[in-house]
Amino acid sequence: VLVTGGAGYIGSHTVVALHEAGRDVVILDNLSNSSAAAVDAVRALTSPDLAFIEADAADRESVGRTIVDHGVDEVVHFAAFKSVEESVERPLAYYDNNVGSTIGVVEAMLEYGVSRLVFSSSCTVYGEPASVPVTEASPTGAANPYGRTKLICEQLLADVAAGSALDV
């Protein structure tokens, strides 16, 4: 299982859980929101030789090489910027990173025949909900660039899945 953003908070916990479940895991992270110390901490909890690739998930070639080199057959995609406040200040960076990384990952998956993807979205895609609890059937209406990038990625994945063997 390839975990993009696997050195981040949620990604690192997912890597540990997958390892404990007996899965072979590869972390791909550019360390823009994490550090090598996080990878070392994950290795201390799992295996000292847990694979780590320092690369950007938007780089289709790096993702593809990782898929081939490690026999990846599933992807969990966490790699994204995640601050609502920062997204308002730097919307282009959020669109470039969040949408770009999803495109890079999906292009590599399709090129190398990987069809199983878990995508980490956000409740921000629902904006200010009219009622709670929010369900996947609730209307979307992201109110900030971060939420809109996640919603665009959801729509992109639905479009790709409709026209390919991608299982999101």
- The residues assigned a catalytic role are 146
- Distance between CA atoms of residues 65 and 69, nearest Å: 6
C-alpha closest to that of 42 among 56, 25, 55:
25
Judge whether 143 and 158 are in contact, CB under 8 Å.
no
